[in-house]
Structure 1
């Protein structure tokens, strides 16, 4: 199996695991020193270091503050150990009951153990914020 296919398989599993609430499965693909950056303007903006910080500050909140929140990958681009994923988010914010859909690009870097070491989110945060107001 090529590295590109391996990385794609891992990322597909992470998207599926988070959608199904299998946080420990998702977490198993993260390096111990992962740097995870949510976009400025996004409700969970910031850089989080380590799997527990990523879960606490991002994924636990997505699971508790939204209904049917999902990140759906559409296309993958590969460059060495870096993968860019184009896709879209959608969900309904529990407090307002408003829904949204917004395109994203996720940038992932992998280490020699095929774990994710770096993540950057690019998204139209205004669409998400609008659903929260």
Structure 2
């Protein structure tokens, strides 16, 4: 396993606290984090503070039991792809979701420069809608 792959795996495979610490340590100062169109936090966040506030704080407060479980990683030099399934219950509606995702990371010198999210946003959007 290459160094970049080990670094990315360390942001998924521990406790939420460990994953968060590992992610913060791995982000380049001007890292770009792009959440997919159709995802509740869609857009590009630049820098650790914006990424944590715009994505991870919201995931932690707006969802119950939110998880990103990976099943496959692929390594191509400075690019790492992580594939898996999100799950959780949206607090405002009480609706549960499971949605497949892919994350593409670009790294340089052991730091994450960019992450792009691909997700089955239809499954996530269903959880955001109140029950009929």
TM-score between the two structures when normalised by the length of structure 2: 0.90
Equivalent in the alignment of 2:105: 108
- Segments of 5+ residues of structure 1 without an aligned counterpart are none
Equivalent in the alignment of 1:13: 10
Which of 78, 81, 87 does residue 84 from structure 2 map onto? Answer: 87
SS in 2 for 1:15: coil
Q: Distance in 1 between matches of 2:46 and 2:36?
A: 15
- Segments of 5+ residues of structure 2 without an aligned counterpart are none
Which of 56, 59, 62 does residue 62 from structure 1 map onto? Answer: 59
Equivalent in the alignment of 2:123: 127
SS in 2 for 1:95: coil
Q: Distance in 1 between matches of 2:58 and 2:65?
A: 13
TM-score between the two structures when normalised by the length of structure 1: 0.89
Equivalent in the alignment of 2:45: 48
Deviation at 1:15, TM superposition (A): 1.7
Q: How many residues align?
A: 128
RMSD: 1.4
